[in-house]
Chain A
Amino acid sequence: MTEKEYNECVTLYADKVYRFILKNLRQEEDARDVVQSAFEKLWKNRQSVDAEKSKSYLFTIAYHQMIDHLRKIRRITLRDEFREEARICDKPVLQLKRTLEEALSRLNETQRSLVLLKDYEGYSYGEIGQITGLNESQVKVYLHRARIQLKNYLVSLENLI
């Protein structure tokens, strides 16, 4: 990867990586730190990184740094399922988007990352597997579970309303 190709990566992928990390961390400064670290690592390893795979390389680096960051600060409680006591009926749900964000925040970090990588960037199961270190079947299963959990959350909310 040349200097020009690296800077093109910044122009093309910085926002995408930042959104992906921000959706997971929900902390702007932390997300910025992770993105800067990811690009710093890309610059150091630019000689060994192919320009065509730079996007996947960036997301991979950013994803793992995000996981390390989450484990360090423990700001997000990892959950496999929605909590039964989760009651948001008393909250004014004005937009489906906000409801969906709420549902997304209740996923664990792996499920959330899979959903975001799929919906935001449109990665295939195989590509997501490369980024996250999972195999394709695992990505498919985890992602489908996450979808069903999101749907159940939305359905339960509609029933309450």
Chain B
Amino acid sequence: MITRDNYQEFFLLYIDNELSAADRLVVEEWVAANPDRQEEWESLLFCRIAPEEEVVFRDKKTLLRTAGDIEADNYADYLDREQLRHTVSTPDTTIVFPDKNSLYKNERRRRVVILYRLLAGAAAVLFAAVTLLLFRRHPAGEPALVKNTPVSPARINKKEPSPVTPATTAALYPKKKPLHPLPARASRLPVDRRLPVGRMLPVGRTEAGQQENKTSDVATIAPEHDPAGGVKTDGLSQAAGLSQSAGLPQSAGLPPAVQQVNIPRELSSFATQALQEDNEKAIATASEPGSTGKSKLRGLFRKVTRTFGKTADRDGEGKREVLISAFQVAVN
């Protein structure tokens, strides 16, 4: 039943054509009976939109289909397999890159070459520095280094001690003021006790201190006089097979001659090592003015040793590595 409370819904249903013919007639009669709602009724009727027949879809043929059309699911049935095979491109293997060798890389070989270059350069610098320091240290006419030829035990055993005469001794040992004159108490001692057996002196340095020596790894031992007139070596030298020094003069009329033997410091007794250290200290004190070059040389060697040559297993894989300054370089 249409009333003034629900007439609007009936109007909308009427416009939407959702009412039956009887209900549509009821609505039309109610509008006629209520002219104050006539305007609203007409307004709703204008809201119906009529289709625009002039608007059409152009090219409608594009939408038409035939069963024989090629589609996405049947296009393979229409392909000529043989012709399709001709469309496949094959690579031309005759075309090659002309300079392929320039593309190869070997990272490991380059690293080794760099290492060798570094080592060679360091060795050259070291050699130049050592040479320069040594020739600057010694004036002309003096030997740059006291040559210290190692003496083999066999040679020592075979060679008979040459007789030492005062002339030869004077020629070989010109008298000079000793750098360290022995104290008076020591000079009063018997000759063969002035230097204890086995006391080591630097190479070429006799009891009188007439010569200096720059090496410390060679011990000079004062032999004891044999009652038979020969030179008797101490027990240490005998045990080491070094009974006599080679090439050094000996004389029975002189203070006990000093024999020069090559005894490695490691093989010496503790007493010998202690004496050797005393001598080294005495030499260092005595050669104060001239010790600058030596300390320089030693400092240089220390620096070089710290810089190069340290090989260690730095990692757990056992790879050998060389430490150059702060850089760690693998050897292999």
Interface residues of A (CB under 8 A from B): 3, 6-7, 10-11, 14-19, 22, 32, 35-36, 39, 43, 96, 100, 103-104, 115-116, 118-120, 122, 124-125, 143-144, 147-148, 150-151, 154-155
Contacts and interface: CB of A to CB of B under 8 A. Distances in A.
B49 A116 contact: yes
A148 B18 CA distance: 17
Given A18-B55, A144-B9, A151 B62 contact: no
A19 B66 contact: no
A148 B63 CA distance: 38
20 contacts: A3-B65, A10-B63, A15-B55, A18-B56, A22-B55, A36-B62, A36-B63, A39-B63, A100-B46, A118-B16, A119-B51, A120-B49, A120-B51, A125-B18, A143-B16, A144-B9, A144-B12, A147-B47, A151-B46, A155-B43
Given A35-B63, A39-B63, A119-B50, 15 more contacts: A3-B67, A7-B64, A10-B60, A15-B55, A15-B56, A16-B51, A18-B56, A19-B52, A36-B63, A100-B47, A119-B51, A125-B16, A143-B12, A151-B47, A155-B43
Contact of B65 (A11, A19, A43, A116): A43
Contacts, number: 73
A143 B18 CA distance: 12
A154 B43 contact: yes
A150 B45 CA distance: 11
B57 A14 contact: yes
A114 B16 CA distance: 11
**Interface residues of B toward A: which range?**
20 to 34
Specify the main secondary structure of chain B where it touches its partner.
Answer: loop
B46 A14 contact: no
Contacts of B64: 7, 10
A148 to B, nearest CB: 8
Nearest to A99: B46
B57 A147 contact: no
A147 B12 contact: yes
Contacts of A155: 43
Interface string B21-59: 000000000000000000010011011111110011110
Interface of B: 9, 12, 15-18, 40, 43-44, 46-52, 55-58, 60, 62-67
Contacts of A15: 55-57, 60
A3 B65 CA distance: 7
Given A32-B57, A124-B18, A147-B15, A154 B47 contact: yes
Nearest to A10: B63
A104 B16 CA distance: 16
Specify the main secondary structure of chain A where it touches its partner.
Answer: helix
Contacts of B46: 96, 100, 151, 154
B69 to A, nearest CB: 9
Contacts of A118: 16
Contacts of B51: 16, 19, 119-120
Nearest to B16: A118
A124 to B, nearest CB: 7
Contact of A14 (B12, B47, B48, B63): B63
Contacts of B16: 118, 125, 143, 147
A146 to B, nearest CB: 9
B14 to A, nearest CB: 11
Contacts of B18: 124-125
B49 A151 contact: no
B49 A100 contact: yes
Contacts of A116: 49
Contact of B55 (A19, A124, A143): A19
Interface centre among B46, B50, B56 (most CB of A within 10 A): B46
Contacts of A143: 12, 16
A36 B184 CA distance: 131
B53 to A, nearest CB: 8
Contact of B44 (A100, A122, A125, A147): A147
A22 B55 CA distance: 9
A159 B4 CA distance: 24
Contacts of A103: 47
A7 B50 contact: no
Contact of B60 (A3, A11, A16): A11
A151 B65 CA distance: 43
Contacts of B47: 100, 103, 147, 150-151, 154
A103 B67 CA distance: 44
